[in-house]
Amino acid sequence: MAPRQRRQNFVDVRDVADAHVKASLEPEAEGKRFILSAGAFSFREVGKIIRSHFPGLNKMAKIEDGVKDELVTDCSSVQAQKILGMEFIGLEKSIVDSVNSIKAYL
């Protein structure tokens, strides 16, 4: 059996900030709580994104072959999409933008 890597949900911090603003302005949001998730990810996927966009950082983006991703949690952001009109930033953009912001400190 192949080793497994957990897949967890993620959300870009910019989406979290956007949701807070939208919830404070949307009357229908009053008294509600919102789950924010742009989808599931594994750290192996993050490594692949870093490797494809930043070849000079390959040593920092270790990828184990033969690992099977296993979904640990599954969250639905339907209410946030419906009431707040959320459109989430995807994993690739989130990772690329994060690495670009950190590169200045490496």
Is residue 89 predicted with pLDDT exceeding 90? yes
Residue 65 lies in a domain: yes
Residue 96 domain-assigned (yes or no): yes
Residue 106 lies in a domain: no
pTM of the model: 0.81
Residue 55 has a pLDDT of 86
- Let me know if residue 61 belongs to a domain: yes
- Higher-pLDDT residue of 7 and 9 is 9
| Tally of domains in the chain | 1
Does residue 50 contact residue 60 with C-beta atoms inside 8 Å?
yes
Return the higher-pLDDT residue of 8 and 78: 78
More confident residue, 5 or 23: 23
Which has the higher per-residue pLDDT, 67 or 13?
13
User: How long a stretch of residues is the chain?
Assistant: 106
Q: State the residue range of the domain holding 43.
A: 4-100
Does residue 38 belong to any structural domain of this protein? yes
